[in-house]
Amino acid sequence: MMPKEYNIEGKVVFITGAGRGIGKGIAQVLAEAGADIALNALTEKYVVPAARDIAETSGRRVAPILADVTQADGVRLAIDQVFQTFGRIDVLINNLGDAIRAPLVKLPDRKSETASDEALKKIIDLNMTAAILCTRAVGPHMLERRSGKIINISSYTAGRGGKDVVLYTLAKAAVVGFTRAQALEWAPYNIQINSIAPGFFPEPLNTDEETFKRMTEYIAKTTPLGRPGRLREVGLLALYLASAASDYMTGQTMYLDGGLSL
């Protein structure tokens, strides 16, 4: 029998960028643990079938929430939809993020082009701005109840950097700092804010079969534990952070990266 502190049955969890990948993996585990899930994405392509599949396998209520959470208006739309559907938000998971591999300045011995101004802004918005806006939006509700959990998804690069991912690293390191500062500010109100810094968690949906094979082989060679992460593993750590088991932890970043940050 599961320890009672891990029981999240009936909790409402809002996850951004959750149509596939890590967000979907987290949603699956938390739904299995008894939570109702609001899955956010910009379009319905992945999130609608994901919501249907998770609802069927878990027996919980799972609703797709279509909105651009990198914009304040989009966040308000998303939060309104969640409250209309579920009536509250107990756990916010700021999962939305993406990377563009390009140097900040063109290197003399490299053919790769630098990222455009639009791409640079997009990386900051996806990985940092969305987390700030969503936290600000759910804050009043959690503060009023003096209860809540927020989980920010950072990256192992936040602690060690990464070639060709300068802006991504900057944004994910900012998420770690944001986690610490906001956790301290809201600690007196019984709101715990922590972050997870994943390593490589590839998903076949994101690429073709041959590229996926090469990617997993590369990850196995470069990761100390010798394999890629499994999406459920992020979900299992998120379950701890979303439950009462982690009530005495706040402002922390947990590296789930197979040893890449060592």
CA distance to 102, 106, 123, 245, 249, per residue, from 111 (Å): 11, 8, 22, 50, 46
Q: How far apart are CA 14 and CA 57, in angstroms?
A: 19
Q: Which residues contact 59 (CB under 8 A, 6 or more apart)?
A: none
Q: Does 168 qualify as catalytic in the annotation? A: yes
What the block records as the tokens of 213 is 């094979």
Q: What is the dihedral of CA 242, 248, 251, 256, to 10 degrees?
A: -60
Map tokens 């890449």 to a residue.
Answer: 260
Task: With beta carbons less than 8 A apart as the criterion, state whether 196 and 156 touch.
Answer: no
Contact by Cβ (8 Å): 108, 83: no
Which entry of 168, 189, 218, 240 is annotated as an active-site residue? 168
Q: CA 54, CA 52: separation in Å to the nearest integer? A: 6
Q: Is residue 199 within 8 Å of residue 254, measured between CB atoms? A: no
Our CA dihedral for 239, 244, 250, 252, rounded to 10 degrees, sits at -30
* Bridge partners of residue 237, in order along the sequence: none
Residue identified by tokens 């643990």 is 33
Residues designated catalytic: 168
